[in-house]
Chain A
């Protein structure tokens, strides 16, 4: 498996020392109704797209630090539980763990193996199509702890599953380390729409290790939104399209505040004939660093894939480094990319100012437009929820 930078290659000041975090936390009590959580917790969950009222949701999983505080499905045919509970319930599930993300990938996968703290198990049974998304929240409530989760999502044959995942911290949390192993299985003709919103704190380090397997005629749509400050994030999720006509699309909306370092990419390996992929990233640096990676590998005839990265520098400092990679190994692949890093056009700002918007308001309107989530192709109810979460985030963007 190709990897991003290993931890040893990362400059010392950003290197994560696992031992510097507390491995003990909690305990956190289970709640029958997520509305029983504290107002501060609920507020922070909402800004990551997780609604404790469960309005417009098909089910909810909430994990706080190392404990499952709520897991419940509201829709027949959708399963929601912790991955540890699921392992007890389903013997076959053992084969799904570490199948797509090798356990020896790096020290973080190793750490998640040695000291696992649950994670979610979400599954749509064959043919089940739910109009509303499941929601999952991985919450850090204690300062300076490490949270290692292992998540499994299975969209069984012909199902349609939407998931909105919010990762957040309590307001008084400053430092922490989140390691998230996620393995997604999109079976024949199934569709998984996975939307992840990150709302961490200024000194939280985040190391997701995610991979998806998409079978014949399956569609995997992955959206990632990170608009709030975070110390550093490093992730390079991968989708393998192994069945004819499988489709993957990754959209990322990244906003780097001063002091934030986001190293985020998306990789698709097109292994089956006629499979298609699209990777779209929008990156805004308001003083922080963004490494926007993308890698498309065509290994079968008649595949088609496109990579697009657009970056916007809105402060005097900061960095946007777009690294698109295309790799074809057989005849008849069609791979393309486009990347652009620039600043906001002055004529656009002045145009809005001529309508009476201040320079700051004009800039904010243009940046919000640049991070337009309508390009994600989300189902209507999910789009509304994502927009709601983004509106909350935007208040802190400028």
Chain B
């Protein structure tokens, strides 16, 4: 569904992502792990086409079509949706109005707002004065309304208490289960969300580069034991082994 080939991205002239290769298949739930500042959010913003994230090399291909030159809204309308980590607040634009503007057929605003405990927020300015958990739920409500084919979740559990993490997980699953082909890229640096939304593949981003691909829970366990630094070494070792193998 999403293929990222040799992607290098700069923000204000500084390289934040280097030679990224990633392949998310239809129906796949890919976890993207990495420490703070490793480039996880930058990758998400580059996929979506935000103007500060300039692609200097490489391609982003969505459903077989190169989308590097598409505008943000064209990417959104082609089926990519984002749950932002820190969405801006917009004075005067009400949450209800926003959801009405973007909703696809069959979306019931009152039912979904009720489930996400957002009914009383519908007539408030979007994201203005929302707590961490409220922001996440408001983002999810918009994602449910837009019903994307590929969902990009940026740290869905950060700043959310346990009870609400269960709720966030449930709604994430609902978005993904709506169609067997729906796919996701789930950014996390704690992995707490894996208790509710099970990823089937994981990769690690450190210093703007992908260092490891594999079973997400195994990767997480390794990181818990050895830290992210080990991932870099680990990949180094693997590459060394690979090159030794070729040489021998």
Q: Which of A339-395 contact B (CB under 8 A)?
A: 345-348, 350-359, 361-362, 365-366, 368-372
**Which residues of A sit under 8 angstroms from B73, Cβ to Cβ?**
353-354, 356-359, 362
Establish whether residues A350 and B72, one from each chain, have CB atoms under 8 Å apart when the complex forms.
yes
Minimum CB–CB distance from B162 to chain A (whole Å) comes to: 28
Other-chain residue from A359, A361, A369 in contact with B90 (beta carbon distance below 8 A): A369
Establish whether residues A359 and B93, one from each chain, have CB atoms under 8 Å apart when the complex forms.
no
Establish whether residues A347 and B92, one from each chain, have CB atoms under 8 Å apart when the complex forms.
no
**B173 interface contact, C-beta 8 A:** no
Nearest chain-A residue to B125 (Cβ)? A369
Q: How many positions in chain B have a CB within 8 Å of any CB in the partner chain?
A: 26
Establish whether residues A355 and B84, one from each chain, have CB atoms under 8 Å apart when the complex forms.
no
**Which residues of A sit under 8 angstroms from B93, Cβ to Cβ?**
352, 365-366, 368-369
Main secondary structure of the interface of A (DSSP, over half): helix
Nearest chain-B residue to A371 (Cβ)? B92
> What's the Cα separation between A347 and B84 when bound, in Å?
12
**B11 interface contact, C-beta 8 A:** no
Establish whether residues B88 and A365, one from each chain, have CB atoms under 8 Å apart when the complex forms.
no
Establish whether residues A350 and B50, one from each chain, have CB atoms under 8 Å apart when the complex forms.
yes
**B233 interface contact, C-beta 8 A:** no
Other-chain residue from A346, A357, A372 in contact with B101 (beta carbon distance below 8 A): A357
**Which residues of A sit under 8 angstroms from B82, Cβ to Cβ?**
354
Nearest chain-A residue to B91 (Cβ)? A369
**B97 interface contact, C-beta 8 A:** yes
Other-chain residue from A345, A355, A362, A368 in contact with B92 (beta carbon distance below 8 A): A368
Establish whether residues A370 and B92, one from each chain, have CB atoms under 8 Å apart when the complex forms.
yes
Other-chain residue from B76, B91, B92 in contact with A356 (beta carbon distance below 8 A): B76
> What's the Cα separation between A353 and B51 when bound, in Å?
11
Nearest chain-B residue to A344 (Cβ)? B90
> What's the Cα separation between A298 and B184 when bound, in Å?
61
Nearest chain-A residue to B104 (Cβ)? A356
**Which residues of B sit under 8 angstroms from A365, Cβ to Cβ?**
90, 93, 97-98, 101
Q: Which of B38-86 contact A (CB under 8 A)?
A: 48, 50-51, 71-73, 75-77, 81-82, 84
Other-chain residue from A345, A350, A355, A366 in contact with B102 (beta carbon distance below 8 A): A355
**Which residues of B sit under 8 angstroms from A354, Cβ to Cβ?**
48, 50, 72-73, 75-76, 82, 84
Other-chain residue from B71, B90, B97 in contact with A351 (beta carbon distance below 8 A): B90
Nearest chain-A residue to B73 (Cβ)? A353
Interface code B14-28, partner A: CB below 8 Å = 1, 0 otherwise? Answer: 000000000000000
Establish whether residues A351 and B87, one from each chain, have CB atoms under 8 Å apart when the complex forms.
yes
Establish whether residues B142 and A355, one from each chain, have CB atoms under 8 Å apart when the complex forms.
yes
Establish whether residues B71 and A366, one from each chain, have CB atoms under 8 Å apart when the complex forms.
no
Establish whether residues A359 and B76, one from each chain, have CB atoms under 8 Å apart when the complex forms.
no
Other-chain residue from B71, B88, B90 in contact with A353 (beta carbon distance below 8 A): B71
Establish whether residues A353 and B76, one from each chain, have CB atoms under 8 Å apart when the complex forms.
yes
> What's the Cα separation between A182 and B50 when bound, in Å?
51
Given A353-B73, A354-B76, A359-B71, verify A348-B101 contact (CB < 8 Å): no
Establish whether residues A356 and B77, one from each chain, have CB atoms under 8 Å apart when the complex forms.
yes
> What's the Cα separation between A229 and B93 when bound, in Å?
24
Establish whether residues B102 and A356, one from each chain, have CB atoms under 8 Å apart when the complex forms.
yes
> What's the Cα separation between A347 and B72 when bound, in Å?
12
Given A353-B72, A355-B102, A357-B101, verify A370-B91 contact (CB < 8 Å): yes
> What's the Cα separation between A357 and B91 when bound, in Å?
17
Q: Which of B110-163 contact A (CB under 8 A)?
A: 125, 142, 146
**Which residues of A sit under 8 angstroms from B81, Cβ to Cβ?**
355
> What's the Cα separation between A262 and B21 when bound, in Å?
55
> What's the Cα separation between A217 and B94 when bound, in Å?
35
Nearest chain-B residue to A347 (Cβ)? B88
Establish whether residues A355 and B51, one from each chain, have CB atoms under 8 Å apart when the complex forms.
no
Nearest chain-B residue to A370 (Cβ)? B92
Establish whether residues B98 and A355, one from each chain, have CB atoms under 8 Å apart when the complex forms.
yes
> What's the Cα separation between A356 and B100 when bound, in Å?
12
Nearest chain-A residue to B50 (Cβ)? A350
**Which residues of A sit under 8 angstroms from B94, Cβ to Cβ?**
369
**Which residues of B sit under 8 angstroms from A371, Cβ to Cβ?**
92
**Which residues of A sit under 8 angstroms from B48, Cβ to Cβ?**
354
Nearest chain-B residue to A346 (Cβ)? B51
**Which residues of A sit under 8 angstroms from B98, Cβ to Cβ?**
352, 355, 365
Establish whether residues B101 and A355, one from each chain, have CB atoms under 8 Å apart when the complex forms.
yes
Other-chain residue from A351, A356, A359 in contact with B84 (beta carbon distance below 8 A): A351
> What's the Cα separation between A356 and B147 when bound, in Å?
11
**Which residues of B sit under 8 angstroms from A351, Cβ to Cβ?**
84, 87-88, 90
Interface code B150-190, partner A: CB below 8 Å = 1, 0 otherwise? Answer: 00000000000000000000000000000000000000000
> Besides the contacts A351-B84, A361-B101, A366-B92, what 20 more A-B pairs have beta carbons closer than 8 Å?
A348-B88, A350-B50, A351-B88, A353-B76, A354-B48, A354-B76, A354-B82, A355-B98, A355-B142, A355-B146, A356-B76, A357-B73, A357-B101, A357-B102, A358-B73, A359-B71, A359-B73, A365-B90, A365-B93, A369-B90
> What would be 18 A-B contacts, judged by CB atoms less than 8 Å apart?
A347-B88, A351-B90, A352-B98, A353-B72, A354-B72, A354-B76, A355-B98, A355-B142, A355-B146, A356-B73, A358-B73, A365-B93, A366-B90, A366-B92, A369-B91, A369-B93, A370-B91, A370-B92
A-contacting residues of B (Cβ < 8 Å)? 48, 50-51, 71-73, 75-77, 81-82, 84, 87-88, 90-94, 97-98, 101-102, 125, 142, 146
The 8 A-B pairs at the shortest CB distance, nearest first, are namely: A369-B92, A372-B92, A369-B93, A353-B72, A356-B76, A353-B73, A355-B102, A347-B88
